[in-house]
Amino acid sequence: MTEGEIMKKIYFTVGPSQVYPTLHKHMGKAIKEEICSLNHRSQQFKNLYKETADGLKKLLNVPENFQIFFVSSATESMERVIQSCCQDTSFHIVAGAFGKAWSNYASQVGKNAVTHIFENTPDVNLDNLTVPKAAEIICITQNETSTGCSIPIEEIINLKKKNPEKLVAIDIVSSAPYIDINFKYIDIAFFSVQKGFGLPAGLAVIIAGPKALEKTEKMIKKGIKVGSYHSFRSLSEKAKDYQTPLTPNVLNIYLLNSVVKDMLKLSANKIRKDTEKKAQMIYGYFKTSTRYFPFIKNPLFCSPTTPVLDVLGDSEQIRKKLSKKGFIIGAGYGTNRENHIRIANFPAHTIKNVSTLLKHIRYII
């Protein structure tokens, strides 16, 4: 690289992260098509909503009778799910900061949020877990971005099988579109678009099944407050006509639609295989490292999409050295800021990107 040249950075941060390779092309097209001026009550917007919802359903294997809602963030999704699908008691399986946050929001909106925290051992399975009888909904951070703990979908399905009368809501913020969900056993899933989809932040998707919507209607019948403009009823009524209750982030929906199309061309299968290959490369390296190691011990619970590595206080110097090479990786979350590094493994990250990153890490360590 000659002096004056700008080094191209690769963002391995866990979100916002590396943008999807076609993003800038789609942004250019959005500008040309005047998407920022598009009336959200127009037929053109309805077509865009329908196309995006259909594309997402195809990519993520979502059944026809589920609805796709657009809201502004995964955080908002957590609140709206609780408001619309929980009358009194929610149950939260917590393996890190984002699961804890969800439980806190439930308390803050007035629910009895029962929480099971996997303190320092997030890598246990859910077989021995007793779900409180009163719980109406089981809230699971399927991929916990703060610790890199990923709960296998089979574990969640087993839990649902044992508790068929309870709703199951999963946060797939940093595992979509990799995570392969059997929606027969999942009532609600949500994610934001600045992680696995490589888009600008400011949009989230809630996938809501018929049982979730039935619950909202039951609560309304009883006179329970289910929220206002973004209640599941309000979202659902508008979604039936491919509309939103308010002016949504139209530009981001357009970009999501474009990236989902690109992903469908590539195929969900190919994305999954590549993600697993890259995850093996990352974990493979750290498992043989004599100094550093994956934070989550049980390989079954090691997140393929957001690996977290324990680097024993060396986080800052590793990040600084990699940054000089153009590789931006994540610090640890919260109090683990200096103990951990977090490396996103999203569809925007190529096998070559990961291989070069690991080469640099090997050199640095």
Does 103 bind a second copy (CB under 8 A)? Our answer is no
Does 15 bind a second copy (CB under 8 A)? Our answer is yes
Candidate list 95, 176, 189, 203; residue touching a second copy; CB under 8 A: 203
Candidate list 52, 141, 192, 275; residue touching a second copy; CB under 8 A: 192
Q: Give the DSSP H or E segment for 93.
A: strand 89-94
Candidate list 108, 182, 267, 323; residue touching a second copy; CB under 8 A: 108
Judged by CB under 8 A, the stretch of 105-113, 183-191, 295-303, 309-317 that binds a second copy is 105-113
Which SS3 state, helix, strand or coil, does residue 240 take? Answer: coil
Residue 53 or residue 153: which is nearer to a second copy going by CB? Answer: 53
Q: 107 near 147, Cβ under 8 Å?
A: no
Which tokens is 223 given? 């006179």
Q: Which residues contact 90 (CB under 8 A, 6 or more apart)?
A: 82, 103, 106, 111, 112, 113, 114, 135, 136, 137, 139
Least distance to a second copy, CB of residue 121, Å: 27
Does 332 bind a second copy (CB under 8 A)? Our answer is no
DSSP code of residue 169: E
Does 37 bind a second copy (CB under 8 A)? Our answer is yes
Residue 106 or residue 263: which is nearer to a second copy going by CB? Answer: 106
Distance, in Å, from the CA atom of 2 to the CA atom of 265, rounded to the nearest integer, reads 37
DSSP calls for 14-53: SSS-SPPTTHHHHHHHHHHTTGGG--TTSHHHHHHHHHHH
Does 200 bind a second copy (CB under 8 A)? Our answer is yes
Candidate list 120, 228, 269, 288; residue touching a second copy; CB under 8 A: 228
Q: Which residues in this chain contact a second copy in the complex, by CB under 8 A?
A: 9, 11, 13, 15-19, 23-24, 27, 31, 34-40, 72-76, 79, 101, 104-105, 108-110, 192, 194, 199-203, 225, 227-229, 231, 245-252, 328
